[in-house]
């Protein structure tokens, strides 16, 4: 589909954001990358503003006890928020778009992991230092609400505008996540269709932009409809367990190929031999174990549906 005038509308809503993201993904990877880079800069600026401003109001007493729920709480928390790391996988799916993937992909994946981990830790440290951790429980926007609390307590107009900036940055973060999803899901399904793992419909390309527009639009509807009618917690748990299972199978594939096809040409080399793949499987299974049993039942249901699709289509 062509990039229509509706996509450039100044109004912002979940539906229009999703529409704009898919239009940009259909238009081309360069346009998607440029739009995403702009939103990421805004998002990082908002995160740094919160860290710098909130660090001045930290109360060390809020950090005691440091891990009130113990290791089980840490495991459960890691399992719940794992979906925030799914974006790193999108770097590898853009390999065909990279000029020098052997050099660029490892740098991109490792650099983004390091930078985002530092930012995540910084936000968590400041947030739990500004307000007691009990107050952020079941809070859909803990960072923005903590800034609102500080603004009301101090009466500072600077904190008020920082809160507005953080809110705007959070909106840009959600939109950029939709854009990244749109940009990498289409090429992924296109590659699977090209290899015979999905119907040929998904390997159609746009006659003008030469992008997998059909797969991109189908992915948008397949994800957008459930997102509008299902609970976000349920969807995030399903996303977590599905991604962790995919990581496990991918790593196990690496181990199997090391033995079954040792002379295959490999574009990437990883140090440590089998240590890293084995540890990856262990930690993925460990995080999957922290998810509710109901999520496991839904996962097996979707797994059977997926196997049926591969078997009969």
Q: What is the pLDDT of residues 148-171, one digit of tens each?
A: 888 888 888 888 899 999 989 888
Among candidate residues 165, 176, 177, the one with its CA nearest the CA of residue 54: 165
The b-or-e profile of 21-44 (16+ CB within 10 A means b, else e) is bbbbbbbbbebbbebbeebbebbb
Q: What is the pLDDT of residues 93-114, one digit of tens each?
A: 667 667 788 888 888 888 888 8
Cα 145 from Cα 132, distance rounded (Å): 12
User: Whose structure tokens read 């990581």?
Assistant: 247
Cα 262 from Cα 50, distance rounded (Å): 49
Question: What would you report as the CA-atom Rg of the chain, rounded to the nearest whole angstrom?
Answer: 21
- Say yes or no to pLDDT of 126 above 90: yes
What's the predicted TM-score (pTM) here? 0.73
């Amino acid at each position: 589909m062509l990039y229509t005038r509706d996509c450039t509308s100044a109004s912002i809503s979940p539906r229009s954001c999703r529409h704009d993201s898919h239009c940009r993904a259909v238009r081309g990877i360069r346009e998607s990358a440029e739009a995403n880079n702009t939103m990421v800069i805004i998002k990082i600026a908002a995160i740094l503003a919160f860290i710098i401003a909130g660090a001045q109001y930290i109360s060390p007493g809020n950090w005691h006890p440091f891990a009130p729920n113990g290791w089980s709480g840490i495991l459960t928390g890691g399992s719940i928020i794992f979906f925030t790391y799914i974006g790193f996988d999108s770097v590898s799916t853009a390999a065909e778009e990279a000029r020098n993937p052997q050099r660029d992909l490892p740098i991109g994946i490792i650099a983004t992991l390091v930078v985002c981990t530092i930012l995540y830790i910084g936000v968590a440290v400041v947030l739990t230092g500004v307000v007691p951790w009990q107050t952020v429980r079941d809070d859909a926007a803990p960072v923005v609400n903590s800034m609102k609390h500080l603004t009301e307590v101090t009466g500072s107009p600077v904190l008020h505008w920082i809160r507005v900036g953080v809110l705007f940055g959070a909106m840009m973060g959600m939109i950029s996540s939709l854009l990244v999803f749109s940009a990498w899901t289409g090429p992924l399904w296109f590659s699977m269709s090209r290899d015979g793992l999905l119907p040929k419909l998904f390997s159609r390309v746009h006659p003008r932009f030469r992008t997998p527009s059909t797969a991109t639009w189908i992915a948008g509807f397949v994800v957008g409809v459930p997102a509008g009618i299902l609970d976000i917690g349920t969807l995030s748990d399903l996303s977590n367990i599905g991604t962790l299972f995919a990581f496990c199978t991918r790593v196990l594939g690496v181990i199997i190929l090391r033995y079954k096809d040792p002379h295959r040409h490999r574009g990437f080399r990883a140090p440590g031999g089998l240590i890293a793949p084995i540890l990856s499987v262990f930690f993925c299974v460990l995080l999957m174990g922290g998810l509710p049993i109901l999520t496991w039942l839904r996962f097996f249901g979707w797994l059977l549906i997926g196997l049926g699709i591969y078997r009969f289509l």
